[in-house]
Amino acid sequence: MPVVPKKMETNSFQGTNIKSSESDEKPSTSAPIAGNQVKHEKSEEDLAFDEPPFKKIKSTTSPEGKPVKNLGGNKVKEEFEMNWDIVQVLSERTNVEPWVCANLIRLFQEENTIPFIARYRKELINNLDADALREVQQTLEELRSVAKKTHTMIQKLKKEGKLSGCLFTALLNCRTFEELDHVSAPYKTGSKGTKAQRAKQLGLEPAALSLLQNPMEFNLFSYIRPNVKGLANIQEVEAGVQHILADIFAKDKDTLDFIRKLCQQRYICIQSALAKVSSKNGNEKDIDKFQLYHEFSCNIKNIQHHQILAINRGENLKILTVKVNIPDGVKNEFCWWCVNERWRPKQFLKPELMRILRNSVEDAYKRLIYPLLCREFRSKLTSDAEKESVMMFGRNLRQLLLTSPVRGRTLMGVDPGYKHGCKLAIISPTSQILHTDIVYLHSGQGFREAEKIKRLLQQFNCSTVVIGNGTACRETEAYFADLIMKKYFAPLDVVYCIVSEAGASIYSVSPEASKEMPDLDPNLRSAVSIARRVQDPLAELVKIEPKHIGVGMYQHDVSQTLLKATLDSVVEECVSFVGVDINICSEILLRHIAGLNANRARNIIEWREKNGPFINREQLKEVKGLGPKTFQQCAGFIRFNQEYIKTFCSSKKTQIGSQALLTKAGAQATSEKQGKKKSKPTPSSSQQPNPLDQTCIHPESYNIAMRDQTPGLCLPFHAGFLSSNLHVMQCILICLIYFILFLFLITDFDKPDFKRSIVCFEDLSVGTVLTGKVENATPFGVFVDIGVGKAGLIPVRNITEAKLSKVKKRRSLGLGPGERVEVKVLNVDIPRLRITLDLIRVL
């Protein structure tokens, strides 16, 4: 083998666009797509839509204090060793500094949760947010999966006697599943073997190596065996040598690195066209959905994530045919480089042997390398699109879960229906069920039922109606709007709002709902859930499996494992960051706290039922199954309502004192009688409330926060505190500020869009100005519920910085579910029920 040249530098094909004299090169004419016209998608120049800030490699100086880099160095010991450094590859793929990646690997290995790391280990991660941590974690798991599968394949091939030194090295170089499949495919059990393998079995491998290393002594005619198939003549011998050489070229790391880098500098496009079979036999309605992609072409560097997912769906439905087009210039330059540089023979090559070498390179490109590149491009595009779709789902879910609650109101939840009536549920300001009923508003009994509704609203002093957005929603909304306009419920000033009921039906028949509301009909449980979604969105929505909430994009086309892991992580993040009052929260909500699970949450509830409310965080250590690690992860996210504890302690003070005296007297009597020492008393601190338990300050920082504190107010600004870890100081101050704001200052939360009138679809016209609520957000636009039964779309190009609130300007140029907006109608397509909107401002 010739001397291996210096390794080429490689990047992802979606990385920096390297300028080249051939950057404007047209796609290959050897691979046209169907149709005469090709639509070329231009690069999007719109503002970034609802995406987190790009994680640029950060400087060594953290913006919020000096980072702690030395958590053990950047070298990390992995279970399955590869020829690449997992820290470096992780850094390249996530664009996060290597020292941060090394720290995160160790933190994840120590079973730290994302909420705990994001809040209490900022100095080790350079202040990355939860989404960035989740991306690093998922990429790390993917790399480990590749390494594990590689070593499994190595052991299998070794056992079968197929593992050679070159194959072993090639396998350890694999960084993706596509590379691993490319290298290992010929050796899998049941494979007929490749052309190269069959040629090697005929004994032609020495001939192929001789052509490269010692061509002067190379003699093809010496391998001819007239009675052997594959060696019968010179043409068959040449073909066998060519197949072996092509296989060598296609599996050489430097050769593959060169072609990948070359593709970065060229115009590589993905094309889709209407499949011939679908155009004849397909469902016209389904085919029309993919009209934009019947003749579509776009540079792989510019194509949008939703376009990839749409193309993939069309291909799976056999409506579209998809291909990656690589220009002929890439092939020509690659072949020249291989023949004249990388695989240039050590000695002079005769013309007939040079022909074999050229044919081998072209065969390697056409038969092996080009299909590999296409698979890699498609896989990378699909993987990125799926990840973005899942991340978008997560961002929408987070915003929905963190919708501001409407507290202090008695609510009437309405689950609309036709034949089986509208289910009603009235709940108290503390979410207790006060009354349930069924009314038939759409079967000619509307006037009579109005009296019942009025009586119920006045009986329970309820002035807020929450209507689910399912079947019969618009008719039910019109019914209530008409009564409100006529002031039928006077003297009550009744308002109503529409809320998504996605997942309510599924939850109403779940075991959790049966346990929570055992005596209630499942149809009425959904009305209770609808009302509680306004009163406490987080506590209610965590009861529903995230994928049923319906705020995603192409959620059925992405990896369900990745989707579930991400959404569960987002729920855990939201519940943890908001915090839960351990003495009143439900078991379902508690199991989503970082570090806890179903069993531990159940143990906490059982301890609470047996011993009464928790007084402070230290008592968590008494719960079965909550060891030091679990306590560390969950303690900072658990809250204690001091007023509730004081009330409980006051009512139990006499009883507790009597019990303590009796216990002490009994212990003394037993000790005197048996001549033994007294048992160890319970520490008094375990029965004393701690003011810091109301905050998100972690118990590991209590000693810092409590130094020289001013009575009644914990503000540690003394010299000893300031000399402590700056990140700890920052975390403590932020926690205290949030606590003070929550108690005293925050009063202007975004409320649901309560209304007293309705607009019908027929009332819409171009130029109409309306208010609505964001229903779902996608990379191509935002869907807004404007109260006409069909959500309108604000294209992403209409969302500009000037139209967003100041808060949004500081975060990202995007909108999320639940936000109220003022919009103008740009187009109304009545046959297709499509509404295009323009964003005026965020309310």
What does the pLDDT average to over 23-36? 38
In the structure encoding, which two tokens stand for residue 536, read together? 């406490």
pLDDT at residue 349, as a whole number: 74
Residue 781 pLDDT level (bands cut at 50, 70, 90): confident
Give the model confidence (pLDDT) of 730-767 as tens digits: 666 666 655 554 444 333 333 445 455 555 677 788 88
Q: What are phi and psi of 180, to 5 degrees?
A: -65, -45
The average pLDDT across 430-449 equals 88
Asked whether the predicted pLDDT for residue 394 surpasses 80, the reply is yes
**pLDDT score at 556:** 79
Out of 304-308, 444-448, 597-601, 639-643, which region has the weakest mean confidence (pLDDT)? Answer: 639-643
* The token pair that represents 295 in the structure block: 């003749």
| Across 244-258, average pLDDT | 89
Query: pLDDT of 543-594, one tens digit each?
Result: 888 878 877 777 778 888 888 888 889 989 888 888 888 888 888 889 899 9
| Farthest-apart Cα atoms in the chain, separation | 110
Q: Do residues 552 and 392 lie in contact, with contact meaning Cβ atoms separated by under 8 Å? A: yes
pLDDT > 90? residue 232: no
Question: Looking at residue 57, what is its pLDDT?
Answer: 42
pLDDT score of 702: 84
Amino acid letter for position 438 = I
Tell me phi and psi for residue 559, to 5 degrees: -60, 120
- Strand arrangement, sheet containing 495-499: 433-439, 422-427, 411-415, 464-468, 495-499
For residue 732, the number of C-alpha atoms closer than 13 Å in the C-beta half-sphere is 23
pLDDT at 627: 92
- Span 699-729, pLDDT tens digits: 888 887 776 454 444 444 444 444 445 656 6
What's the predicted TM-score (pTM) here? Answer: 0.72
For range 383-412, the mean pLDDT: 87
Q: 134: part of which helix (H) or strand (E)?
A: helix 130-160
Assign 347 a pLDDT band (cuts: 50, 70, 90): confident
DSSP 713: B
Structure tokens at 352: 């007939």
Please choose, from the candidates 254, 191, 130, 260, the residue with its C-alpha nearest in 3D space to the C-alpha of residue 569: 130
Helix (H) or strand (E) holding 299: strand 295-299
What's the rounded Cα separation, in Å, for the pair 411 and 416?
16
If you average pLDDT over residues 211-230, what whole number do you get?
A: 84
**What percent of the chain clears pLDDT 70, i.e. is strictly above it?**
77
* Residue 740 pLDDT: 54
Q: What is the 3-state secondary structure (H, E, C) of 239-257?
A: HHHHHHHHHHHHCCHHHHH
Q: What average pLDDT does the chain have? A: 79
655 or 364, greater pLDDT: 364
Q: What is the 3-state secondary structure (H, E, C) of 199-251?
A: HHHCCCHHHHHHHHHCHHHCCHHHHCCCCCCCCCCHHHHHHHHHHHHHHHHHC
Residue 751 is given by DSSP the state: P
Element (H, E) at 834: strand 834-842
**Residue 690, pLDDT score:** 83
Sorting pLDDT into bands at 50, 70 and 90, what band is 444?
A: confident
Average pLDDT over residues 375-389: 90
What is the average pLDDT across 255-280? 87
Question: In which band, very low, low, confident or very high, does the pLDDT at 41 lie, cut at 50, 70 and 90?
Answer: very low
pLDDT tens by residue, 604-656: 999 998 988 898 899 999 999 899 999 999 999 998 877 767 776 666 554 54
Helix (H/G/I), strand (E/B), else coil: 273: strand
For the chain, the straight-line distance linking the first and the last C-alpha, in angstroms and rounded, comes to: 70
**Whole-number pLDDT of residue 195:** 86
CA distance 544 to 507: 6
Neighbours of 551 (CB within 10 A): 28
Looking at residue 64, its pLDDT comes to: 40
Confidence of residue 125 (pLDDT cuts 50, 70, 90): very high
Residue 43 has pLDDT above 70, yes or no: no
Name the DSSP letter for residue 364.
Answer: I
